[in-house]
A and B are shown apart, each in its own frame.
Chain A
Amino acid sequence: MKRYRRPVQIVILFFIVILGGYAIGSAVLGSHDKPEVGDKPPSFALLGIDGSVHHLEDYEGKAMVINFWGTWCKPCVKEMPALQAQWEKWKDKGVVILGINAGEDQMTVQNFVDQRGVNFPIVLDSDSDAVRDFGISPLPTTFFVSAKGKITSIHTGELDLETLGNQIEQLVQP
């Protein structure tokens, strides 16, 4: 009837669709606290035992294996050689293995890696920020992140050499 009314209706319906869509969309997709398969891993800035700060963004474009561990945790200690072996195999092929130590100090971690001959990058999560952001409860937990920056699988518990190898193979598949 009057000309100005139609645009008003359209604008209001448009806002309802946008705002409502956002609200429902975030209810369906984004409400979980922990990162899950298909998500981007949470970013972090952690001090490495090499003395430099490691950011998630530093490894952009590389496939990543992010391993949460502690020296007191037996399965973590047991899977270290597998991680080290795979690191040696893949380090020149665009795969990064990153160990995030849950809350121990430099000395403990340094002694441990020296003893075990571990030389993939190890960072210290002294305030448990990454443990919190990644939603870790039992150790070890390992995240496999594709080169595109998406979590492709999450493994809780000890990894053996073979499983780890298979997972990395899958990770680097184009």
Chain B
Amino acid sequence: MIINTKCECGHQNRVGTVLCEACGKPLFEPDGQGNLLEMRYDGAARRSQRANPTWIDRIWNFFSSVKVAIYLIILTLLGAMLGTIYPQESTFINLSNPGDYYKTTYGTLGHIYYILGFSDTYNSWWFILLLVLIGSSLVICSLDRILPLYKALSKQKIQKHMEFLTRQKIVYQGDIEGSPQEWITRARPFLKKKGYRVHTEPDALLAEKQRFSRWGPYIIHIGLIIFLLAVLFRGMPGLHMDEYVSFPEGEIKHIPNTTMYLKNEQFTVEYYSEKELPTEFQGTGKMLPKLFQTKAVLYECTATCNDPSKKPVLKEVLRHDIEVNKPLSYKGLKAYQYDFDMTPKLRSVQPVLVNKVTGEHYGKFKLDMMNPQRSYTLGPYTLELKNKYMDFMLNDDGEPSSKSPNPNAPAFLFVVKGPDLPKEGSQYIYFPKQIDKEEFQQDLINEKLGGLEKKLELDVLAMGDVDFAKSTTFLNIRTDRAMPFVWIGLGIVMLGLVLGFYWTHRRIWLRVDQGRVTLGGHTTKNWFGMRREISSFLKQMGITIDEKSLDNGRNKG
């Protein structure tokens, strides 16, 4: 199919051109003759409009269609709504069996929801596919329009076809006196004063301002593309981390998958006093935390980081008091206050050995719960640590063992050697916590082990000799290296919005034919302001007209 795309002015236009690229004469009239002109993209053909499309063109055409883009956006919104029916899997911290959870919590519907994969909507293949399609549509739509528009706007002819002028939305025609050239020369400074760039020919004029606002939508698209790319590739290895880590007070702990270490120097929690509580809660015994704060120190490992046989070399990089909404932040790593546990955790005790007969005290030695020293020399005695049980219990066979790895009820089994003791030593069990001593009957066990409890005793003399983590803070450690790109993308979107909203591209065409001036005006929006500007210009030129009479209301009604 060959369409004649040559305009009467002699310009050869491309297939799909609506208004002649040179003179602006309408070439293609979908809505019939005589209506207002379709000024979108200045009447230029979109790139993908071709006489004989190949399959690549067809794909291209599909994505370049705004209609398709709108359908894609609607589908994505509908899809996104599905993800809001039940809580998403990703919002749980420890959900080991999501299948069971949805079934038991939400019944059959929940089960179906899970089976269909809606429990992880935003990471599902079809949702990502929709985002990818929208991204493609954004890129192709923009390219398909911005280049022809750019070309059309950068090589505008000053003298336009009469029909192009009279079929604009703002039109004025009237007779003038004097030569056309003189009239146009007189008009020039008035338009310049209003901020227009003015181009003239002997009997025609083009005044234009704020053309840049036409790029607003495309700038928005660039921003959206950056945003989408950031969102789609946020999960790439190394870009994203979201971990929950417990930090007992006073301990330096490694942050997984990083070279960073964090120490919880002190954790404090403050509760609302009875008076501060709302009346509904007063007297109910409710405890509401007012503040929880972790005094944190962040360290970076500088050497021997991945070698568990050596101690890592740490360098302090940051101190920060973490509170809710006041995370620690260091080079993209953030630590948010998440939870706390006020259960104290015993770390070490420093008992002395007491000779019960003479009352003599020996030593004061440090007994760590984790990795304790294996032997101690105290006065004439040596204590050799044989075994330890962090959560003491007697198992089914009556043997001492441990219920858990946590030092809830620690017990230490020593072999003690020294004066008046058997050569091979005598066994002695020690419970650092007074409550365990009584519950498990330390003396009774020791009596069975060899009766050392009558001669010797381990005893902690002062509270200062007990070291424990008073509490444990739970921090949510996050990195999201794609976030800056999300913000950059949104910033660009905002810039595009501002360009498109607060400025308008305005153009005025003028031509003088045999003592009659024809004016056409076009703006991207705010036609009212445009008419006012033109009527003020015409007034300066000595033509007084009613603003409203400029409105070429052909399309109205």
Contact = CB atoms under 8 A, between A and B. Distances in A.
Interface of A: 1, 5-6, 8-10, 12-13, 16, 19-20, 22-24, 26-28, 31, 45-47, 51-53, 70-72, 102-108, 111, 124, 126-127, 129, 132-133, 137
B306 A16 contact: no
Nearest to B373: A107
A111 B400 CA distance: 13
A16 B387 CA distance: 63
A16 B136 contact: yes
9 contacts: A16-B139, A24-B129, A26-B236, A71-B405, A72-B391, A72-B403, A105-B370, A107-B385, A108-B387
Given A13-B59, A16-B135, A23-B233, A72 B402 contact: yes
A19 B135 CA distance: 10
B60 interface: yes
A82 to B, nearest CB: 19
B161 interface: no
Interface residues of B, number: 52
Nearest to A34: B96
A103 B519 CA distance: 85
Given A19-B232, A24-B128, A129 B256 contact: yes
A8 B236 CA distance: 27
B254 interface: yes
B92 to A, nearest CB: 11
B370 A20 contact: no
A23 B14 CA distance: 37
Contacts of B388: 107-108
Contacts of B131: 23
A129 B306 CA distance: 12
Nearest to A12: B139
Given A9-B60, A26-B235, A107 B371 contact: yes
A53 B307 contact: yes
A-B pairs, top 9 by smallest CB distance, nearest first, are: A20-B132, A47-B308, A23-B232, A27-B128, A72-B402, A105-B371, A16-B136, A28-B125, A105-B370
A127 B232 contact: no
Contacts of A71: 401-402, 405
Nearest to A5: B47
Contacts of A126: 308
B140 A12 contact: yes
B372 interface: yes
A20 B405 CA distance: 47
B56 interface: yes
Contacts of A8: 143
Contacts of A106: 371
A140 B256 CA distance: 22
Contact of A127 (B129, B133, B233, B253): B253
B56 A31 contact: no
A84 to B, nearest CB: 19
B132 A45 contact: no
Nearest to B97: A137
Interface string B271-301: 0000000000000000000000000000000
Interface in B384-438: 385-388, 390-391, 401-405
A72 B256 CA distance: 25
B124 interface: yes
Contacts of A26: 235-236
Given A23-B132, A27-B124, A45 B143 contact: no
